[in-house]
Structure formats: structure tokens, C-alpha cells
Amino acid sequence: MGETSHDIQRVLSRAPKLASLSNDLLFMDIWERPELNKRDRSLITVAALLALYRLEQLPVHLDLARKNGVSDEELSELITHLAFYAGWPAAHSALKVLDKLIVGCRREEQ
């Protein structure tokens, strides 16, 4: 669950078209549309990943959400709220991923 950007690029190099679609369509087009700001898109994405139990993608998008202005407290609240809709195990697992991200960031700051 600690994929680096190098790891992601290595994996995507095995499917260049998928990499191209991810970058060009998803991140350069969909994420840039003005109807939703990036903060809202991050909240929606994290909620969808949690609800679908896509833990492998969650660290990247939790980090992106933080960069897009979502606080750790808001992410914790999102996880708590979704526990009742997506299930307790999914929420608990997502909370562990968030905790690992927060602890890792605090270590980097020291």
C-alpha cells in the first residue's frame, strides 16, 4: 500500500495505452472540468474507492485529497459517515490507510 510514483510509472509502462488514457483523459480532462472543483472531486473519489473497497488506490487519492485542501479531520469524518453506507470493514480499512499516511507525513516533517 506504499506505492511510489516510480512504482506506478513502472506498472503503467506495461500498458502504455492505459497510462495515456489515465493521464490524458482522466487527469488532464475529467479532473480539470470546471463543474466540480478538485477538492470536491477528491472527496467523491475517496468515497467511491472506500465504498468499492479499492484499498490499493486509496493512499494515492487520500494524499491527493490532502493536497486539494481536504483536512485529515474531514477525511476521518468521510470515513465515519461511509461506515454506515459502505460497511464497517471498508471504513476501518480506509481509516488504517489514512492513519498510515498521516503518520508517514508527520515523520517526514520531523
- Nine cell digits for residue 55: 484499498
Residue 57's φ and ψ, nearest 5 degrees, are -90, -15
* pLDDT value for 69: 98
pTM for this model (two decimals): 0.86
Separation of alpha carbons 43 and 49, rounded Å: 10
The predicted structure's pLDDT at residue 1: 43
Look at residue 63 in the predicted model and tell me its pLDDT: 95
Those residues of the chain that have pLDDT short of 70 are 1-5
CA separation for the pair 5, 2 (Å, rounded): 10
Report how far residue 49's alpha carbon sits from residue 104's, in angstroms, rounded to the nearest whole number: 21
